[in-house]
Amino acid sequence: MVSPAIALAFLPLLLTLLIRYRYYFMLFYRAVLVRLWRDCRTGLSREERVFQYILTHATAGDPESILDAFDTWCSKVEFISNIGPKKGKILDRLLLEQSPVTVLELGAHCGYSTVRIARALPRGARHYSVEMDQSNAAIAEKVIRLAGFDDGMVELIVCPSDEVIPRLRSDYGVEKLDFVFMDHWKKCYLPDLQMLEGSGLLGKGSMIVADNVLFPGAPNFLRHIRRCGLYEWRVHRATLEYIKGIRDGMAELIYQGTK
């Protein structure tokens, strides 16, 4: 049994750790513990719960109201790792500047970023959104169509990214990608980027935006873009979506062509 004197000796250290890492403890509470409790209580997945909320708090055919409902849920009810409104505004600005005609999104999850991107695209643009998880893709499909985007503008592809990228030209008729948004498994960022580099689908000026490169982080991806010489790049520093106090960043790459 630990004596009271030893316990008191460790108390300052414990308090220091709680204060220093309080935002990470909050993230664990909201992203893991709350989710597990609600999963057991409702019998629904987190993605199903947010879709139910959107149905009752957003207007069909209005992408802005759907994004607002997402943001309210994720900030006040239950954490979901969407790009969120703060980094989302950076994404909005880049899309406005780039005005891409052909977009590839890797990691639709439950449709937040898909709606955010699609609403900013010019008339006649084509958006290919990739999600490997079938349950999440089913929710994303409902969210995308609820926002008013049909299959002629936004095509949801339910498949792992490393299987889709090699088939974009043959199966989907894609000749060049103007804009790529990455927000799937961080370990896939580098191999998928290298696959895109070898595919011939990136042209000079093609833009790649990758979320969460600082937290949870994609160090191999960042190391590659620093060393390969194929990109002009920068990291837009921000905080993690819906959780203040955790530093994060979003990488912006502009492809310059082969060396």
Q: Which residues are catalytic?
A: 183, 186, 211-212, 241
Count of helices and strands (H, E) across the chain: 12, 7
The answer to whether 124 and 101 are in contact (CB under 8 A) is yes
The answer to whether 221 and 193 are in contact (CB under 8 A) is yes
Tell me the C-alpha distance between 78 and 50, whole Å.
8
Spell out a b/e string for 117-135, using b for 16 or more CB atoms within 10 Å of the CB, else e: bbbbbeeebbbbbbbbbee
Phi/psi region, residue 61 (left: phi>0; alpha: psi -120 to 50; beta: rest), is left
